[in-house]
Structure 1
């Protein structure tokens, strides 16, 4: 079976609960993780450690870059105030705590071991399979080459569909949180683009606060409530 999971946001315990509900990770299952593993939640470093180990030990694990990983990279490489502010505005505080980065420090290189950065830099912006495009945010089909617009893949929330580029394949993405019930209703429709982000880290918002996995073979959604908060 093939599964897609998005927007874990440091919620390690919830991720483990979801994997247990799926019935563990095995060589018979292929997993696609669609970005945003860090920030806002309590265990960003632990989530990264788990994914790094998974990727090293199994060739059925596919991991895509999200906008939160990109913000971390930009702050790491450039140390600019604007990059730091943008990352902080988007929930970097807990990630910085995980790596023992003092508040207000722009040069974070000495605090984050390089293998985390190497891992994030190795992550593609999207993956194409026989039936799907998997991406964090979406694609900009107004661009002459949507598959070169990496910024849109990370940040866009206004998705459309252009069969000229997608060849009839379905787009699965995260980034934009919607209630589980709405995701399930969307999956029943004939649309060719779906968000599977059920707002795991937003437990305080009504109808959100779930982490979901989409079975790409059956198009059935598997969800667990956040247990990290």
Structure 2
């Protein structure tokens, strides 16, 4: 799908997975302000886990608003979903979250991991209570309110991917936050583009109607943003390869 088919309503910026790197987010924000001042910004989810500054990232993002200047929209990622699932079902969902970066998020809130096995029901319930108390109702409510997608013209922003054969508003939440088997295999037949994170790439990619922006910031130090305008995509990135 040629870049000439890109047709947002107005230029905007999409930001890839942050994963607990508040330092990189602040660096990238300076670049966005310098090159795309006033453009709407959409963050593609996965603000927490793996990196050491999850709490700081959430506190920063909670100060932003889709009604602000510039307008900023923060989407739901699968790691936010895992945290919320842990809060709702600590015994069943806790072990999966803890194995996938939850320990770093706990540490950012000053909470030690559970003693003994992570599958211990008593320990997981106690851990859930302490985390909920430390996060506070406002932060938890903010996470629950994250939208699953954002649209500008013929470009959709989602966290993980989408079924190419279904309109994005009609897709299941799990598909948009965890991905779809056909998403990376073929382009959508409707001519729409999808900007996404979730699937780590060495460098940001523009191909087959997809704009891939997860460059593994927590491990590589490279947090990526795309400045998307009609027929054009430019990338900004933190780290030594900037």
Shorter-chain TM range is 0.7 to 0.9
Pick the aligned partner of 2:188 from 162, 165, 168: 162
1:225 equivalenced with 2:242 (yes/no): no
Q: Alpha carbons of 1:224 and 1:194: their partners in 2 closer, same or farther (altered >3 Å)?
A: same
Q: Alpha carbons of 1:143 and 1:106: their partners in 2 closer, same or farther (altered >3 Å)?
A: farther
Stretches of structure 1 lacking an aligned partner (at least 5 in a row): 204-208
1:177 equivalenced with 2:200 (yes/no): yes
More off after superposition, 92-101 vs 37-46? 92-101
Structure ID, larger Rg: 2
**Secondary structure in structure 2 of the residue aligned to 1:22:** helix
Partners of 2:36 and 2:227 within 8 A in 1: no
Q: Alpha carbons of 1:132 and 1:145: their partners in 2 closer, same or farther (altered >3 Å)?
A: closer
Q: Considering Cα pairs closer than 8 Å and 6+ residues apart, tell me whether 1 or 2 has the greater RCO.
A: 2
More off after superposition, 57-66 vs 43-52? 57-66
Structure 1 outlier segments of 4+, above 3 Å: 24-27, 141-146
Residues 107-186 of structure 1 correspond to what in structure 2 (within 5 A)?
A: 107=125, 108=128, 109-141=132-164, 147-156=170-179, 158=181, 159=183, 160-163=186-189, 167-180=190-203, 183=204, 186=205
- Which whole-Å CA distance do the structure 2 matches of 1:121 and 1:42 have between them? 22
More off after superposition, 56-65 vs 112-121? 56-65
What is the TM-score normalised by the length of structure 1? 0.83
1:214 equivalenced with 2:226 (yes/no): yes
| 1:157 CA displacement | 5.9
What is the TM-score normalised by the length of structure 2? 0.79
Q: Alpha carbons of 1:26 and 1:48: their partners in 2 closer, same or farther (altered >3 Å)?
A: farther
Instruction: Spell out, residue by residue over 1:32-65, the C-alpha distance to the aligned partner (whole angstroms, 9 max, x if none).
Output: 0000000111110110011000128716111100
